[in-house]
Structure 1
Amino acid sequence: MAAYEEQEYNKPFSFRVWGKMLPFFKPYRKFFAITLGFNIFLAGIDVVVPLFQSYAIDHFITVESLEGIWRFAAAYVAVIVIQTMSVYFSVRAATTIEMNVGKDLKWAQFEHLQTLSFSYYNTTPVGYIHARVMSDTLRIATMVAWGLVDMFWALIYVISVFVIMFLLNVRLALVILLIVPCIAVLTVYFQNRILHWNRKVRKINSQITSAYNEGITGVKTSKSMVIERDNEKAFFERTSEMYRASVRSARLNAVYIPTILLFGSVAAAVVLAQGGYMVKEEIMRLGTLSVFISYAVIIFEPIQQLARLLAELISCQANIERVMDLLEQEPNVVDKAEVIKKYGDAFHPKKENWEKIKGDIVFEDVSFRYPDGKEFVLEHFSLHVPAGMNVAIVGETGAGKSTLVNLVGRFFEPTYGRILIDGVDYRERSQLWLHSQIGYVLQNPHLFSGTVRENIRYGRLDATDEEIEEAARNVSADEVVMKLEKGYDSDVGESGGRLSTGEKQLISFARAILANPSIFVLDEATSSIDTHTEQLLQQATGRLLRGHTSFIIAHRLSTIRQADLILVVKDGKIIEQGTHKELLREKGYYYELYSKQFEEEASMKVFAGGTI
């Protein structure tokens, strides 16, 4: 199977891309002002501190006098205290920015993910989504809170230091200034390459996250098929690729950083040689030389830091592009503005305006193709399903049975034509209004972490314990619950992992029944249930679905003989429709399917030693 190929993010620096982050930064502008203000102040203090050293040498050490030492000490201590307090308030503000921007970005993505259509999840691996929500948001928040502030500090510091050096001695200042272009050229050369490998590391990290997620969720399949070794080999190849990219980046850093330190040492040596001569000739005071040496040793670190942060700033743009790519994804199914105004949206429903659904459904000349497809899977299809009708949809695996129910549930919309519910085009009503009136029981149902009781209660959050237990009894789920150690208060595990598929189907069925929706969709809902339970469930289903419009996707044709209407799907097209008896009389495709399945079931009974 072809691997999902992630989009490349390698555009040059763009203020437009960063501008998309302003809505997330704006609420914390006060904290930005605090941390930037204190960093300007700190840059000034850091520049001034070496001047204390100069003053001490010229006024205490050289002249061998302690006159005024207490005033000097008090001033120095005061500066250190002010510096410490400034660092505290700056770090506190930066931490607030980091935590809140990261939280807001995660929340915005999580909320947006709730609105996206099925097609996005069909084409995007969970690992890539997880990397955007967790890793990318963390890096953006860290860069904004600390990187930008540190860049600002480094820029102010470097400019201030050169101004002071030129004021103290132009000749020595020029010596240090001449080395700066060398540092700049080296930085541009190395940082571009380091940036390239860092981007590759982050891309591979997304692939590893995706593979890790797939490996965990598919662990039962891996063990049953004994493919642990193959999984390990594939995972090893990905991690090895990340290792090689990380090593390349580390090697470049290992050459770059010592090279910068070498130039700093050369600058300090030149200043010491030139300055020593000038002190000897009494052209310069010893204290001034000590300031220059301090500046010569220190100045290249903020220059290096400035270059590194600039490269990281450009690199972080890729993280912003990835996050915004998710946030700018448009769902394929969107409510119109006037619909949202009346009915609300998923997060702000206006339930007082929701009409009760009777369940009368009309397909009116419906044609449909998937958003990424070229061919129609349904063409000029018309059908009237009166309220309360039981419709079965049958066909071989992959025939397109789920397409119809996905259209009914408005998880997809017709490409052409209309679907009417109670005589109104369902695009004139909200998605949430419709979804709240559909009870969906899947072949592989999803349970949330928590207890059995909590999972059934998702059907109707205000349901009492008695109503939950009654819903379970109605679908024979109580037999499963009673076998569990804590009954309804038993933990089902992540995604219901502590229960079998059949047990999850029963609990999912109870959840749907509790909601008492107008429309039921049962997608192979009894495929993993034993024969005895299935018989009990069919009896209950006949009673519970009475008066409700229902769509049943079935593989076992014996389970849908009592359906009011059977739709036979082949290659995405409805080729036959009618009741069970009518379709058998026609001796068409349905007759072939039914006969073949009957023969298979009969053979299985014979081999099992039963009777036909």
Structure 2
Amino acid sequence: MAAYEEQEYKKPFQMKVWAKMFPFFKPYRKYFMITLGLNIFLAGVDVLTPLFQSYAIDHFIVPNTLQGIGVFAAAYVGMIVMQTVSVYWSVHAATTIEMCVGKDLKWAQFKHLQTLSFSYYNTTPVGYIHARVMSDTLKIASVVAWGLVDMFWAFLYVVSVFIIMFFLNARLALILLVIVPCIAVLTVVFQNKILYWNRRVRKINSQITSAYNEGITGVRTSKSMGIEKENEDAFSGRTSDMYQAAGRAAKLNAVYIPLILLCGSSAAAFVLYRGGYMVQEDLIRLGTLSVFISYAVVIFEPIQQLARLLADLISCQANIERVMDLLEQTPNVTDRAEVIEKYGDHFQPKKENWEKIKGDIVFEDVSFRYPDGKEYVLEHFNLHVPAGMNVAIVGETGAGKSTLVNLVGRFFEPTAGRILIDGVDYRERSQLWLHSQIGYVLQNPHLFSGTVRENIRYGRLDATDAEVEEAARSVSADEVVRKLKDGYDSDVGESGGRLSTGEKQLLSFARAILADPAIFVLDEATSSIDTATEQLIQKATQKLLKGHTSFVIAHRLSTIRNADLILVVKDGKVIEQGTHEELLARQGYYRNLYDKQFEEEEARRIFERSR
């Protein structure tokens, strides 16, 4: 299978990309104003500090007097105290921005992910999504909270210093000013290269995160197949690519910043050389030269900081592009505005307007092809499923049995035609209205981290403990509970990892019974379940489906003999339909499947008896 290829991000540095972040910054504009205002003050303090030094030289050291030293010292100490307080509140505001912006970005992505269609999850690995939600948002929040503010301080400091230097001595100031165009040229040359390699780093980081995810979730398969060495080699290749890409980005920064320092140091050396002669010739005072020396030595740190922060700003664009790419993904299935107005959306449902579902389903001239497909899976398909009917869907592995179920659940919508629920096109009502009335019991059911009781209660969150336990008893899930040390309060582990597949299925049956939806979808595979658990599941299935409209994806044909209707799927198309007896009598594809499976099961029974 070909590896997932992430979208390439090749835009040069653009403010309009950053502008997409403004809605996330706006709620915290007060903190931005606080930290920016305090940084203006701090830049002013840092600029004035050498002037205090100049004043001390010209008024105390050169004339050899201490007259007025008390007022000077008080002013200097007062400035230091104000500087300390300002740094504290500036850091407090910046930390608040970092934490809150990061939280909001994560929440926005998590919320948006809940609205995306199945197709997005079918084509996007979990690791790539995880990298966007976690590491990309962390980088953006850090750069916004600290990088932009520090850039603002550094810019103000550099500009203020040059203004004062021009006021004190324009000739010496011009010497230092020469470094500005040098920095501009270097930035233009390096910025696109730095951006390119940082984008590569972020892309490979997603691949590594995805590999971690697959390695952890598939550890049992890896160990059973003995492919640890192959996994290590593949992972080593990805980390080597990461090392090379990160190394290239680091080398560019390692060349970029020292070049700026070289320009600055050369200008400082020339200032010291010219300034010394000017003091000897009484063209400037010693205090003025001390100011220039202080500025010449210190100014290169904020200039270097500006260069570094600009590089961070450039590289952070790749993180923003990746986050916005997720947030700008549009679901394939959406509700119209007037439907949302009446029924609400996923997060603000208007349940008072929801009609009760009976479960009468009609496929009316339905044609369907997947969003990325060219051929129709269904063409002009018609079917009426009265309320309470049990429909089984059979076919070989990969035949497309889940297509009909996905259409019924409106995880995909018909390309043409309509699907009616209780006589109304289901697009006239909200997705959540329908999803809340469909109970799913999957072949590999998912349990959430938490207790048995909590997992069953997901079927109906307001259910009492007695109702939860009654639901478990009705499908024999209480037999699973009795084996657990803490009963209903036992922790099931991550994804239900402490339970077997059969035990998880029984708990998911209990959850579905508690929800009591109008429509059931059941993937009834029992190939990896012991005989005793299989019997419990078959009993639970009969209890679950009684009186409900149901769709059963059947893997063992012997389990669906009593289905009201059987749909036979081959190559993504429904080729036969009827009852078990009708399909056997036709001597067609279903009969071949049934005979083949019967022979395999009989051979397995004979083999087990002979052991």
**Residue in structure 1 matched with residue 52 of structure 2 by the alignment:** 52
Once the two structures are superposed, residues 192-228 of structure 1 have per-residue CA deviations (whole angstroms, 9 ceiling, x without a partner) of 4333322221221111111111111111111111111
**1:438 shift after superposition:** 0.7
Segments of structure 2 that go 5 or more residues without pairing to the other structure are none
CA contact (8 A) 2:202 2:319 kept: no
Deviation of 1:501 (Å): 1.5
- Secondary structure at 2:498's aligned position in 1? coil
User: 1:610 offset after TM fit, Å?
Assistant: 6.5
Match of 1:500 in 2: 500
Q: After superposition, what is the alpha-carbon deviation per residue over 1:13-67, rounded to whole angstroms, capped at 9, x for unaligned? A: 3232222222211111111111111111111111111111111111222222222
Q: Which runs of structure 2 are paired with 1:397-412 in the superposition (5 Å)?
A: 397-412=397-412
Secondary structure of the residue aligned to 1:517 is coil
Distance 1:528 1:137, change over 3 A: same
- How far the C-alpha of 1:492 sits from its partner, in A, is 0.9
CA spacing shift, 1:277–1:306, aligned 2, 3 Å: same
* SS across alignment from 1:609: helix
The match for 2:194 is: 194
* Partner Cα distance (1:204, 1:447) in 2: 31
CA distance in 2, matches of 1:145, 1:532: 59
Q: What does residue 140 of structure 2 align with?
A: 140
Q: Map residues 238-317 of structure 1 onto 2, 5 A cutoff.
A: 238-317=238-317
Shift of 1:608: 0.8
TM-fit CA distance, 1:244? 1.7
AA of the residue aligned to 1:319: N
Q: Give 1:87's aligned amino acid.
A: V
Aligned equivalents of 1:208, 1:130: Cα separation in 2: 11
* Residue 19 of structure 1: aligned partner: 19
- Contact 1:505–1:526 (CA under 8 A) maintained in structure 2: no
Query: Once the 2 structures are TM-superposed, how far is the Cα of residue 283 of structure 1 from its aligned partner?
Result: 1.5
Query: Are the aligned partners of 1:267 and 1:297 in contact in 2 as well (CA < 8 Å)?
Result: no
TM-score, normalised via structure 2 length: 0.97
Once the two structures are overlaid, the 10-residue window that deviates more, 509-518 or 312-321, is: 312-321
Matches within 5 A, 1:124-203: 124-203=124-203
Q: Supply the distance in 2 between the matched residues of 1:544 and 1:203 (Cα, whole angstroms).
A: 46
Instruction: Report the alpha carbon displacement of residue 379 of structure 1 after superposing the two structures with TM.
Output: 0.9
Q: Secondary structure at the match of 1:302?
A: helix
Query: 2:558 maps to which residue?
Result: 558
SS at match of 2:446: coil
* Cα distance in structure 2, aligned partners of 1:198 and 1:354: 49
Distance 1:63 1:93, change over 3 A: same
Q: Offset at 1:525? A: 4.8
Give the Cα separation in 2 of the matches to 1:413 and 1:487. Answer: 42
Alpha carbon RMSD of aligned pairs, Å? Answer: 1.6
Matched ranges for 1:183-582 at <5 A: 183-582=183-582
Partner SS state of residue 568, structure 2: strand
Using the aligned pairs only, state the percent identity: 82
Amino acid at match of 1:70: G
Indicate the residue corresponding to 2:112 in structure 1.
112
- State whether residues 261 and 304 of structure 2, in contact with CA within 8 Å, keep that contact through their aligned partners in structure 1: no
- Give deviations 1:111-133, integer Å, cap 9, x for gaps: 11101100000011111111111
Cα distance, 1:355 vs structure 2 = 1.1
CA deviation vs aligned residue, 1:566-587 (integer Å, no higher than 9, x gap): 1111111111111111111111
Mean Cα displacement is larger for which, 91-100 or 519-528?
519-528
Structure 1: how far apart are the matches of 2:254 and 2:318?
Answer: 24
Moved more, 274-283 or 245-254: 245-254
How has the CA–CA distance of structure 1 residues 186 and 404 changed in structure 2, closer, same or farther, with 3 Å as cutoff? same
Q: Hey, what's the Cα distance between the residues in 1 that align with 2:405 and 2:422?
A: 17
Alignment check: 8 A CA contact 1:503 1:529 kept: no
Alignment of structure 1 residues 26-105 onto 2, 5 Å: 26-105=26-105
Unpaired runs of at least 5, structure 1: none
**Structure 1 residues 341, 2: CA separation in 2 closer, same or farther (over 3 Å shift)?**
same
CA contact (8 A) 2:475 2:543 kept: no
Could you give the per-residue CA deviations for residues 131-187 of structure 1, whole angstroms, max 9, x where no partner exists?
Answer: 111112122222222222122212211111111111111111111112333343334
Q: Residues 20, 261 of structure 1: CA spacing in aligned structure 2 closer, same or farther, 3 A cutoff?
A: closer
Partner Cα separation in structure 2 for residue 249 and residue 566 of structure 1: 60
**Residues 520 and 550, structure 1, Cα contact 8 Å, conserved in 2:** yes
Counterpart Cα distance in 2 of 1:44 and 1:118: 55
Q: Mean alpha-carbon deviation: is it higher for 245-254 or for 428-437?
A: 245-254
Deviates more, 1:514-523 or 1:244-253: 244-253
1:393, 1:553 within 8 Å by CA — same for their partners in 2? Answer: yes
Give the counterpart letter for 1:332 in structure 2.
N
Partner-residue secondary structure (3-state), 2:237: helix
Which one-letter code corresponds to 1:424 in the other structure?
V
Contact 2:32 2:93 in 1 (8 A): yes
For each residue in 1:241-293, what CA deviation from the matched residue of structure 2 results, as whole angstroms up to 9, or x when unmatched? 11122222333333343443333333232222211111112221111111101
- After TM superposition, the structure 1 = structure 2 runs for residues 563-602 of structure 1, keeping only pairs within 5 Å, are 563-602=563-602
SS in structure 2 at match of 1:608: helix
Q: How far apart, CA to CA, are the structure 2 residues paired with 1:247 and 1:546?
A: 63
Deviations 1:83-119 (A, max 9, x none): 1112122222221111111111111111111011000
Asked if the contact 1:278–1:284 (Cα under 8 Å) also holds between the matched residues in 2, the reply is yes
Letter in 1 for 2:563: A
State the one-letter code of the partner of 2:206.
S
Q: 2-side partners of 1:180 and 1:421: how far apart?
A: 70
Q: In the alignment, which residue of structure 2 is the partner of 1:3?
A: 3
2: CA distance between counterparts of 1:576 and 1:194?
60
Query: d(CA) in 2 for partners of 1:251 and 1:416?
Result: 56
Matched letter for residue 469 of structure 2: E
Contact 2:137/2:319 (CA < 8 Å) preserved in 1?
yes
**In the aligned structure 2, how far is the partner of 1:556 from the partner of 1:267?**
83
C-alpha distance in 2, partners of 1:423/1:39?
65
Alpha-carbon shift at residue 12 of structure 1 (Å): 2.0
Q: Aligned partners of 1:461, 1:6: CA distance in 2, in Å?
A: 38
Deviation at 1:297, TM superposition (A): 1.3
CA 1:289–1:419: 2 relative to 1, 3 Å? same
Mapped partners of 1:174, 1:383: distance in 2: 85
Whole-angstrom distance in 1 between the partners of 2:32 and 2:273: 43
| Greater displacement, 400-409 / 20-29 | 20-29
Matched letter for residue 239 of structure 1: T
Q: 1:5 to 1:444 in 2, by over 3 A?
A: same
Supply the distance in 2 between the matched residues of 1:311 and 1:610 (Cα, whole angstroms).
73
Q: How far apart in 2 are the matches of 1:505 and 1:569?
A: 25
State how far apart, in whole Å, the 1-side matches of 2:568 and 2:108 are: 43
Give CA-to-partner distance per residue, 1:357-411, whole Å, 9 cap, x none.
1111111111111111111111111001111111111000011100001111111
How many residues are treated as equivalent by the alignment?
611
Q: Structure 2 CA distance, aligned partners of 1:212 and 1:519?
A: 37
Amino acid at match of 1:57: I
Flag the 1:398–1:220 CA change in 2: closer, same or farther, 3 A: same
Q: Secondary structure at the match of 2:196?
A: helix
Contact 2:194 2:315 in 1 (8 A): no
Distance 1:610 1:402 in 2: 37
1:400-436 Cα offsets, whole Å, 9 max, x none, are 1000011111111111111111111111111111111
Q: For residues 108 and 261 of structure 1, what CA distance do their matches in structure 2 show?
A: 41
Change (3 A) 1:57 1:319: same
